[in-house]
Amino acid sequence: MKRPIRVLISKIGLDGHDRGAKLIVRNLRDAGMEVIYTGLWQTPAATVRAGLEEDVDVLGVSLLSAAHMTVMPEVLHLCRASGIPDMPVMVGGIIPEADKKPLAEMGCAGVFSPGTPMSTIVETIQGLAEKRRAVILAQAEQAAPDASTRTGLSRAITLVSAGIEKGRPGPAQRPKSSLILGVTGAPGVGKSTFIGRFARALRARGVKVGVVAVDPSSPLTGGSVLGDRLRMMSQTPDDGLFVRSFASGGQAGGLAPHVGEVARLLTASGYPVVLIETVGAGQNDVDVRTVSDEVLLLLMPGAGDSVQFVKAGVVEVATGFVVNKADLDGADLTVRQLRDALEDQRPVWTVSALRGEGLEPLCEWVAGRLG
């Protein structure tokens, strides 16, 4: 598997800040790794669910609350119960020397304190990832994963995205009643928050939702911080929501390799609505149209004028428009300028994702598309 190591870093508990965890995340990114960061105040259940869906090579827990002897047994138990007993689990934080041996004996693959050199952490992750990938390859040679289960679907996505032929599922057959919806827009327009709220609104209607979220890769190290997930997670895992993060891998156009194939696999595995989040897009980042049935372009108040809205590029490929952050001044003017510029019947919605307002009309539109 010639791809960057994937590691998840989670802050479990009620720690008041995550400065140390963010420093670790940046250093791992600079070491060329893809780092899924789930943010503060996570639960063991949400952390293990994220590690499962992301099929990470290593799961890391950061703790400052001296709860490691309580939290880590629960994390390890949930890994076994979730069908990922081979997931390497590390823990770092203010851990007394006397607790390091018991943590290792209960199954923690790495135990780190504030004085642990970063080079040691990186080397440990590299060694654990190499062993785990050898297991994945061996399993793939024996049988294809069962994509009807969450664990099997996660592994199938890994094989597809890594370009591994052995064990990967055949071409996914999309159900007739399904929708792949691209969501694009400039950096900072609120795509992740919008998708998180939109997905929850659809879930409230009983619709199962898959999310494919793409973040940029570093042009210098090849590493990346995949942070979209933290705006979509809840403390209690939702069996009707599946989120997978990808790094762009240097691919132009706002997507990552194999995103379209992964989206089709999600629809075939029981998620009739799949939301694809692009990287922060520019005017020429239009590839999302080639893998989506519909494309929503997110805008925000003051994002442009009528001249900007008639320019070629991403505005052309959008099949609908969402003016997000509609609680801010200038939203009505942006909507008016957009409608004047379009001169067609493409829909325009106003939404405040932060407040969870304006999502019902979008849910109705999706329901109509599903038939």
Considering the domain architecture, whether residues 127 and 215 belong to the same structural domain is answered as no
**CA distances (Å), origin 97, targets 7, 92, 331:** 25, 12, 56
* Residue numbers of the chain with a pLDDT score lower than 50: 1
Q: Edge to edge, what strands does the sheet with 34-37 contain?
A: 110-112, 89-93, 58-63, 6-11, 34-37, 224-226
Q: Is residue 126 assigned to a domain?
A: yes
Q: Which helix (H) or strand (E) holds 74?
A: helix 68-81
The residue segments making up the domain with residue 335 are: 179-370
Considering the domain architecture, whether residues 284 and 340 belong to the same structural domain is answered as yes
Q: Is residue 183 assigned to a domain?
A: yes
Considering the domain architecture, whether residues 113 and 216 belong to the same structural domain is answered as no
Task: State the CATH number of the domain containing residue 59.
Answer: 3.40.50.280
Whole-angstrom distance, CA of residue 327 vs CA of residue 351:
8
Considering the domain architecture, whether residues 264 and 214 belong to the same structural domain is answered as yes
Whole-angstrom distance, CA of residue 333 vs CA of residue 338:
8
Considering the domain architecture, whether residues 201 and 275 belong to the same structural domain is answered as yes
Contact 274, 366 (CB under 8 A): no
Q: Give the model confidence (pLDDT) of 277-317 as tens digits.
A: 999 988 889 999 999 999 999 999 987 666 677 665 889 99
Considering the domain architecture, whether residues 124 and 186 belong to the same structural domain is answered as no
Q: Give the model confidence (pLDDT) of 44-79 as tens digits.
A: 999 999 999 999 999 999 998 789 999 999 999 999
SS3 113: coil
Considering the domain architecture, whether residues 55 and 183 belong to the same structural domain is answered as no
Considering the domain architecture, whether residues 188 and 246 belong to the same structural domain is answered as yes
Q: Is residue 23 assigned to a domain?
A: yes
Q: Is residue 149 assigned to a domain?
A: no
Quote the pLDDT of residue 183.
98
Considering the domain architecture, whether residues 113 and 227 belong to the same structural domain is answered as no
Task: Please give the tally of structural domains in the chain.
Answer: 2
Q: Is residue 168 assigned to a domain?
A: no
236: number of Cβ within 10 Å:
9
The model's pTM? 0.95
Considering the domain architecture, whether residues 364 and 290 belong to the same structural domain is answered as yes
Q: Is residue 152 assigned to a domain?
A: no
Residue in the block written with tokens 């998708």: 195
Q: Is residue 174 assigned to a domain?
A: no
Q: Is residue 151 assigned to a domain?
A: no
Task: State the CATH number of the domain containing residue 338.
Answer: 3.40.50.300
Quote the pLDDT of residue 1.
46
